[in-house]
Structure 1
Amino acid sequence: MAGLLSRSLLRAGTSIAPKQASTLLRGSIRAQNLPRRIYAQASLKSYSRNFTTPPWKQQYRTHTYDSGDGNPPVKIQIHEPPSFFKRALHFTGRVLGGIFIVTFGSVIALVIYEPDMIVTTEAVRMAMHPEEGISDDRTLEIEAYIQNHPIVQKFRDDPSLIETRPHLDIPTLLRPNVLTAGVLTGPDRIAVPPLVFTDGEGKKLFAILHVGEQLCGLPGVIHGGLLATLMDETLARCCFPALPNKIAMTANLDINYRAPCKANQFVVIKAETTKVEGRKAWVSGRLESLPLPGAEGDGKLLLEASALMIEPKNIGTLMREVPNKDSMAASPRAAIEGA
C-alpha cells in the first residue's frame, strides 16, 4: 500500500490526526479507482523486493491510523535509510572482516606451500627434510645422535662458540639451487643439515654431519669430489665473518686425502682462518670421523685441506642491490650463484 501513496502523505502521516488520516487514505484510494487485486499485487512485489534486500537495509517506521466506525486500524510502513552511524559501523565491519579473511588465507597458504617459514620449534626444524618438510625414522635417529653426542655438548658448553644451522637459514625456494642444501640432501645422502659451531669472528669453525651411502664413488666409500665440496663450503664459511662484506669465492683449494671415508658415518670438519689481508683469507681444515661416545682423543683423520678465499671487488655493491642480503649470504654457493 505504501507504494501507492504519495510521498507527501506518508511523510505527513505522523502529524495528521487519525480520523483525518483515514479519510485521506480512503479518498486517495478511491481517486485512483484501482481494484483490490492491484493492491495485493503491489504488496507482493514490495514483499519480494524486500526479501532480496540485505537485512540491514530493510529499515521501516510503522505508523498506525485508526479509521473508526469499527474498522481495523490501518498500518503504514515508511522506508527509512540507515543512519550515518549504522552505515559507518557496517563499513568498518566489512573492512575488518576483509582483513581477517586475507590474513587467515595467507596463513593457510603458508602452511600448505611454505611450511618451513612458520615452523618455530627448533627441534622440529633441525630434523626436517630441507626439500619436502618430512622426516623418516632414520633421519630422526641421525639427528638425535648428533644432538646428544658428547662433542656437541662440549661445543655447547664453550661460551666462545655460536651454534647455527646455516642451511636452514636459506629460503625454501632457493634451497634446490644450492648444491649442499638441495640436491645432496635427503635420506642416504646428507640426511640432516650440518650442525655448525663458530666463534663469530671468522677464526674457527666446527661442522658435524652424516654422509649416506648414495654419496659414494666406490661401493661403501664416499666420493672424493663430495668431500672436496664439503671442505670448500666449510672453509669458506669459516672465514666469512673476517672479510669486509662477509662473503668470498674460492681462489685455490688444496686437498690431501689421508684415508677413505666410509659411507653411513658421522664426520666432523674443523676449520681455522690462519691469515687475513684485506679481501683475502687463508683457511686450513681437517675432516675426521666423529669419535664414538666415550672415546678419548680425536677421530680418524680422513683428509686435510687449505684454501685461499678472495672477496670480489664489486661484491659490496651487488649485495646492497640484492634483497634479503642475510639469507642469501647464509650459503656461499647461493651467494656465488647470485654473483
Structure 2
Amino acid sequence: MRLLSLLLGSAKKSTASTWLGVKRQVSKPKVKRTVTFGALTTGFGIAGYSLASAAQKYHFYPVVYTDEQIKEINHVESSIQGLNLVQELRRDPAYREIRIPFNRSRHGFTNNLLAGYGRVTVPPLVFYNKETTQVLAVAHIGEDVGLTDGSIHPGLLATFMDEVLALCSFLGLPNNIGVTANLSISNPSKAYVNRYYVLRSQLEWTKGRKAKVHGSAYMLPEKEGSKDSTCVAIADGLFVEPRFAKYLKHVIPFQL
C-alpha cells in the first residue's frame, strides 16, 4: 500500500476502557490525521506457521543473517510467544491464530521491505474472532525504522494500522477482500523502537460491499506487568470490496 496524504484535522476528548488487559480508546484524541489509500489490502502477515529453529525460516525466500542477529530474532520470537496476552488468546476457543512467513512477494512493502531484523523483527502473531468480528496482532518493531530520538514515525504506524483494520474488514465483506477507501488516525503518544506492540481492530458495521472498522495500537511496557500499555494510535477505516473481488481470491494467501 502507498500512503498518499496526511492531513491535520480536529481534536476530540478521549476515554479508555480495558479489553484483554489492554487499554482501549473509545473516541479520538488530539492530532487527527486523515490518510487515504487506494491499494489492495492483503493484511498484516498471516497463515499458519510454527516456530523455527533458525531465523531464516521466518522468510519465504532465503535471507542471510549473522549469528548475533539470529540470536536476537529468536529472542524476540520467544518473548512474543510468552506474552500473557498471547497465552490468553490461545486459551480462548473463540479465537483462531494465523501467520505467514515474510517475503511472500519480492515486491511487498510491510511483508518485505519492512520485514526482518531491525524492522518488523518476526512475522506478527494474528488472532481473529469471527463471532465478535475482532482482529488482534502482536508485533515487535526494531531499531532500524526509528527516527533520531528512537521514536517511530506516525506514518509507519498508519501503514500497520491500515493492514490490521483491513484484515478485520475481511470478516464482513462478501468475498473477504477489500481496498482502503479512507483511514483516519490519531497518535496520542509517541511510539518507540525495540518494543512490543498490540494492534487491535473491531468491525463496526457492514453495508453491501462497504465495511467500517475501528482500531487502536498499544506499546507494551518494557517489563510485562510493570505498568499499563501506552496507546500510540487510534484509527477508523472505511473499506470497500471491488466489484471484481471474486476474481482476486487467488492473491490472498488465506481465508478467514
Common fold: TM-score over 0.5 = yes
CA RMSD after TM alignment: 2.3
The 4+ residue runs of structure 1 with deviation greater than 6 A are: none
Q: Larger C-alpha radius of gyration, 1 or 2?
A: 1
- In the TM superposition, residue 225 of structure 1 has moved relative to its aligned partner by 1.2
Structure 2 letter corresponding to 1:137: K
For the Cα contact (< 8 Å) 2:137–2:199, is it kept in 1? Answer: yes
Structure possessing the higher relative contact order (Cα contacts under 8 Å, 6 or more residues apart): 2
| Aligned 1:250-329 pairs, distance under 5 A | 250-291=180-221, 292-295=223-226, 298-316=228-246, 318-319=247-248, 325=250, 328-329=251-252
Q: How many residues align?
A: 200
CA distance in 1, matches of 2:50, 2:230: 31
CA distance in 2, matches of 1:148, 1:221: 25
Does residue 330 (structure 1) correspond to residue 253 (structure 2)? The answer is yes
- In the TM superposition, residue 201 of structure 1 has moved relative to its aligned partner by 5.3
CA distance in 1, matches of 2:63, 2:97: 22
- In the TM superposition, residue 133 of structure 1 has moved relative to its aligned partner by 4.9
CA distance in 2, matches of 1:272, 1:218: 33
Match of 1:161 among 83, 88, 95: 95
For the Cα contact (< 8 Å) 2:54–2:74, is it kept in 1? Answer: no
Q: What residue is the counterpart of 1:181 in the other structure? A: 111
SS of the residue corresponding to residue 221 of structure 1 reads coil
The percent identity for this pair of structures is 33
- In the TM superposition, residue 288 of structure 1 has moved relative to its aligned partner by 0.4
Structure 2 letter corresponding to 1:263: V
Match of 2:162 among 232, 250, 259: 232
Structure 2 letter corresponding to 1:329: I
For the Cα contact (< 8 Å) 1:126–1:192, is it kept in 2? Answer: no
Structure 2 letter corresponding to 1:265: R
SS of the residue corresponding to residue 142 of structure 1 reads helix
CA distance in 1, matches of 2:96, 2:244: 29
The structure with the greater share of residues assigned to helix is 1
Structure 1 letter corresponding to 2:205: K
For the Cα contact (< 8 Å) 1:221–1:263, is it kept in 2? Answer: yes
Q: What residue is the counterpart of 1:124 in the other structure? A: 52
CA distance in 1, matches of 2:121, 2:54: 11
User: What TM-score, normalized by structure 2, do the two folds share?
Assistant: 0.72
| Aligned 1:81-92 pairs, distance under 5 A | none
SS of the residue corresponding to residue 147 of structure 2 reads strand
CA distance in 2, matches of 1:286, 1:148: 22
| Aligned 1:1-339 pairs, distance under 5 A | 122-124=50-52, 127=55, 128-130=57-59, 131-133=61-63, 136-165=70-99, 167-168=100-101, 174-200=104-130, 203-291=133-221, 292-295=223-226, 298-316=228-246, 318-319=247-248, 325=250, 328-330=251-253
SS of the residue corresponding to residue 177 of structure 1 reads coil
CA distance in 2, matches of 1:191, 1:277: 37
For the Cα contact (< 8 Å) 2:138–2:199, is it kept in 1? Answer: yes
Task: Describe the shift of the 1:150–1:126 C-alpha distance in structure 2 as closer, same or farther (beyond 3 A).
Answer: farther
The structure with the greater share of residues assigned to strand is 2
Task: Describe the shift of the 1:158–1:126 C-alpha distance in structure 2 as closer, same or farther (beyond 3 A).
Answer: farther
- In the TM superposition, residue 121 of structure 1 has moved relative to its aligned partner by 7.6
- In the TM superposition, residue 294 of structure 1 has moved relative to its aligned partner by 3.3
